[in-house]
A and B are shown apart, each in its own frame.
Chain A
Amino acid sequence: MTALAISSAGAPRAKKLQVAPSTRQKTATNAVPKLRYIVVLLAGIFAILGGQLLLSIAVSGGAYEIASLKSDLRGSHQQQQIVGEEISALVAPDTLATLAGSMGMVPDNNPAYIRVSDGAIVGEAQPAEASSGGQVYATTAGTETITPPAIVEDVFTTISYQAALEADAEDVLAAQALEDLTLEDATATTVGAPASDAPAPRFGGSIPSPVTR
């Protein structure tokens, strides 16, 4: 409606035909966008192609990364399995009993309990018999040839070494205490002193205390 209004308004003023300039103008304005479109179109196509190329490079790069991560994962699984096997070997009752025996522990089958509610002692405690400790019996017909994993031997060596060190340290302390006793007067108060110099608990004292229930 507005275009119609404009043309009807301008019609009486412009009587001469002025078609040519307007068409020339039109072609000029038309020609410029055409070129631009082509450039944009081509640029777009190349951008898409380039992008696709980059993407596929990235995807192939990803494939290499996946391959390397997968091999890492396999490695970790394997590591987990190795450690798991070592743990199983160490928590095996046979191993624990042998290790405990090597540290001089003996089973005590007559424990007594302190009832927390009233402090009463229930049961009749008896000292454990040292003779019954440490021995592990063969339970098979002895036909197998399996040797325990190396880790068991390693831990055993470490523990025996530590135990020997501590036994030595205890001997030295005991000897010192005896010396102190004989050197000083009978009224000497040093008898209790070695207790404070007692060797550090085995395994750095990191083994948690049992929870009594």
Chain B
Amino acid sequence: MPHQRVSSRRMGVALVVVFLMAGLLVSRLVDVQVVRADELKEQSADIRTTSEVIWASRGSIVDSFGNDLARHVDRYDISTDPRKVGDFRRDGEVVTVAGAMAEIAAITETNPDELLYAVNKDTTAHFTYLVKGVSPEDRQLLRELRNPWLQMDLVRERTYPFGPVTANLTGMLGRDEPLAGIERKYDSCLGAINGSATYQRGADGIRLPGTTQVVEQPIHGGDVTLTIDSDLQWYVLQTLAEHGSNLGAQYGSAMVVRVDDGHILAAADWPTFDPNDFSQAPVEFMGARSFSSPYEPGSIMKSIGIAMLIDAGYTYAEDKIVAPGFYEVYPGRFIKNFLVADDRQLTTAGVLHTSSNTGISVLADRMPKEAATRYFQKFGFGEVTGVEFLGESAGQVLSADQVDVVTRYNQFFGQGISVTAAQMASSYQTLANDGVRVPLRLVDGCRTSEGEVVAAPTAEPVQVVSASAAQQTIRMMETIVSQGPLRNTLEIPGYRVAAKTGTAEIATSQGYGDDRVISLAGMAPAEDPEYVVLVSFYKPQTSRVSTAAAPAFHEILSHVLKHYRVAPSTEPAVLPPLTW
């Protein structure tokens, strides 16, 4: 039958076609599944796989009460692609570009015209920043605008919650690296290393389960703990600002040290800067001058000199001497006193009380200059303090063979020797602590992100002078507060206070000029000192005598006594006679 033949032939053709197509499919299948399988799998994984940064945060700098002085915060950089900027619909209403910019500007407190300009200046650009450093709060508000062309990227920023209060100590973080202070010196503790991970995600952006691979673990930074009490530091800084500006001083520094352990509770430098916004700050106000700027301290060194002389057995508090009006070092070269030109019968206590240059020269003559140099070095002058602050100055103590016939006496009243405020505070801590110098401490330690506490290394205390020498010197310093012309300013009702004033001439290339550094160092309660305070003002203009530093010293010391609830003195002072 022809009909049957046709249909069977048709069947045959159809079969051949089916087999051919099946063959094609099978060969394609084999090609995809077997021959190029690995290559294709890799390609698809590449498309699905994205990598992400696992952010690690830089550690905080905290004060002794755990308040953050520096810490990292999340901020967002708001950017857009100018090509995509346009009107969009929200809840059925059209939002124009200008309207959208006005909304953004209102939230971020920026100028909408500037935002428009950023987008319009180059409409072919692929990327432009609109606002940088937006807070998480504002970012949340921006998200609620549901603006399709806004892009927000997380950035890490450093913030200093207390602003200028501890800026001199913490230093600041620049764009890429720490620039100064603790931030820089302790970068190895604070620094963080971001990690990274890869994962695969579906078309809707959800990560596929079980595909996350951490390539590198993030390493969070540790926290650096300071010995600073930021409340006290603030008060000290305020006092410096108040009195420093009244005095017309160029700058001022103050330090509060706990006697027992040498902890620096406050170390303020005025004027200072705000580490949150330092781009315009003058460079000279950006450091910690208490550590970095050595100066010739003047008469506050006399207490140290007297303690040395007593310790070596050359004198004692009631020792009777005649302080000449002029002390002749060699024919034609005299040491003078401030305002006193006649010979006076003073005890050693009287020499310190009246701050007699000639009196202390008489006493200094008894000590060989080699011994004096050794004592100065033992007090810590000429070497950096235990703090080892970034860029700390060691000051200068002349070696015995460099000390000439005049300097030999001058050193005892603070000339021919240069020291930092920190060294000076440390030497008064020594007197207050029965002659034992406990190296100053500013950084207590580093707590790593795993919670391990690494204490900062401690240096061994040094017995510099005997307890008796230290105590006798303190009794003499008490007479300055209770019987001197400054008693109305310096006395703190209920407490025994010991202090010494100093007016140092500032050496210039033409010898000593008119400018002064005025300072006051002291301690309380004098019968068993707990706190040492040092205040100094550089180049005061309205008054150039050390008495001008007294109000600031008094305010800080009485605040310290109140702040730390120091019990008032109960024993009456038994003070040495000043004249004979």
Binding site for B on A (CB under 8 A): 59-60, 62-64, 67, 78-79, 81-82, 85, 88-89, 91-94, 97, 107-113, 122-124, 126, 135-141, 143-146, 213
Contact = CB atoms under 8 A, between A and B. Distances in A.
Given A113-B565, A124-B494, 4 more contacts: A82-B136, A92-B162, A122-B568, A143-B278
B137 A82 contact: yes
Interface in B547-572: 555, 558-559, 562, 565, 567-568, 570
Contacts of A123: 493-495, 568
Contact of A144 (B237, B276, B565): B276
Contacts of B167: 140
11 contacts: A81-B74, A81-B136, A85-B73, A88-B161, A93-B235, A111-B562, A136-B238, A137-B241, A139-B165, A140-B274, A141-B271
| In the complex, the 5 A-B pairs of residues with the closest C-beta atoms, listed nearest first | A93-B234, A88-B161, A123-B494, A124-B493, A143-B280
Interface of B: 67-68, 73-74, 135-137, 140, 159, 161-165, 167, 206-210, 230-231, 234-235, 237-238, 240-242, 245, 270-274, 276-278, 280-282, 285, 492-495, 555, 558-559, 562, 565, 567-568, 570
Contacts of B68: 88
Contacts of A89: 161
Contacts of A140: 164, 167, 271-274, 281, 285
Contacts of B562: 108-109, 111
B457 to A, nearest CB: 30
Contact of B159 (A60, A85, A144): A85
Nearest to B245: A137
A80 B285 CA distance: 34
- Which residue, of B163, B271, B281, B570, has the highest number of chain A Cβ atoms within 10 A? B163
B209 A62 contact: yes
Given A93-B162, A109-B558, A139 B73 contact: no
Given A88-B68, A140-B285, A144-B278, A60 B209 contact: yes
A24 to B, nearest CB: 45
Contacts of B230: 93
A138 to B, nearest CB: 7
A67 B206 CA distance: 7
B285 A141 contact: yes
A60 B567 CA distance: 68
Contacts of B210: 59
A77 B536 CA distance: 45
A28 to B, nearest CB: 43
A140 B270 CA distance: 7
Contacts of B280: 143-144
